[in-house]
Amino acid sequence: MARIIKNVNPKAIHRTTNLSPEIDRRTQILVSAIMVFGKRGFQNAPISEIAKNARMADASIYEYFKGKEDLLLAIPVEVTKKIIPEIEEHMMGVRGAFNKLRKFVWWYLYFFEKNPEYGSIVLLELKTSKMYIATEAYQAARTFYKILLDIIKEGQQEGVIKKETNVFLARSLCVGAIEHITIRWLLKERSYSLIQFADELVDLLIRALKDEKSGDARPSIGSKRRIRKKTPALNR
C-alpha cells in the first residue's frame, strides 16, 4: 500500500487534515498488509510479519481489526476512498465519452502496473472468493466502477454509444477486459508493460460500443491511426 498511496497521490493519507495518531497507526497496518499479502498471498501471510513491518506488536493489529480476514477486506475499501477522487481529478477537462473511456482504461492499467501488490490482493485473492460479493469491499468496487457506468451512459446521451446497449453488460465488458489483461500480467510475473495495451484495448471497446449511425469517425484522444506493432505478450 505504500506504493499505492504514493502513486495515486503522494503521501495522501498523511496529508489528511487533522490526522489522528489512531488513524495513522491503522494506516501503517494497512500499508504493511498490502505488501505482505501481495508478496506472500493471504493464506501464507502471518499477522506477525504484518505487525513487524508496521513496527508494532502483534496484539496491536487486533486493536484495529478483528483478524487477518477483516484486515484483507479493509484494504480495497480504504484504497477505493483514495483512488476515486484521484481518477475524477484526472477526468477533469476531458470531453466526450470515448475520450473519458480512454483515460479511464489507461489510468486503471497504469494504477495496477504501479501497484502490483494491490492488484494481486484484489484480483487473485478477493475476487475468487465466494464471500466477496457480500462484503463492503465489493460495494467499494461497485462505487468505483460507477465512474465507468456513467461514462457509458454519457456516450448514449451523446449518441455515440448505441441506445439499446445494456449499460451494465457494457461495463462488465470493459471491466472484464481490463482485469483479464491484468491477471495475465500478474501471473506472468509482470514481465512486460501493462499499459502498452491501453490504446488497442480502448479501440476494440469503442468498436464494440459505437453507434455507427452517429457518423462520428473522429479518433478519440490518444488514439493514433497507424499500423500497430504486434504485442506478443498476450500470446505467451
Residue-by-residue DSSP string for the chain: -HHHHHHHSTTTGGGSTT--HHHHHHHHHHHHHHHHHHHH-TTT--HHHHHHHTTS-HHHHTTT-SSHHHHHHHHHHHHHHHHHHHHHHHHTT--SHHHHHHHHHHHHHHHHHH-HHHHIIIIIIITT-TTGGGSHHHHHHHHHHHHHHHHHHHHHHHTSB-TTS-HHHHHHHHHHHHHHHHHHHHHTTT-S-SGGGHHHHHHHHHHHHB-GGG---PPPTT---SPPPP-GGGG-
Domains of the chain (ranges; CATH) run 2-235 (1.10.357.10)
Q: Looking at this protein, which amino acid is placed at residue 126? A: L
Cα end-to-end distance, the chain, whole Å: 29
pLDDT of 150 above 50? yes
3-state secondary structure 150-205: HHHHHHHHHCCECCCCCHHHHHHHHHHHHHHHHHHHHHCCCCCCCHHHHHHHHHHH
pTM of the model: 0.83
Percent of the chain with pLDDT over 70: 81
Q: Does the pLDDT of residue 11 top 50, yes or no?
A: no
Cβ within 8 Å of residue 102, ≥6 positions away: 198, 199, 202, 220, 221, 222, 223
pLDDT greater at residue 21 or residue 105: 105
Reported confidence tier of residue 180, pLDDT bands at 50, 70, 90: very high
pLDDT in tens, 181-235: 999 999 999 999 999 999 999 999 999 999 888 765 444 555 444 434 555 566 6
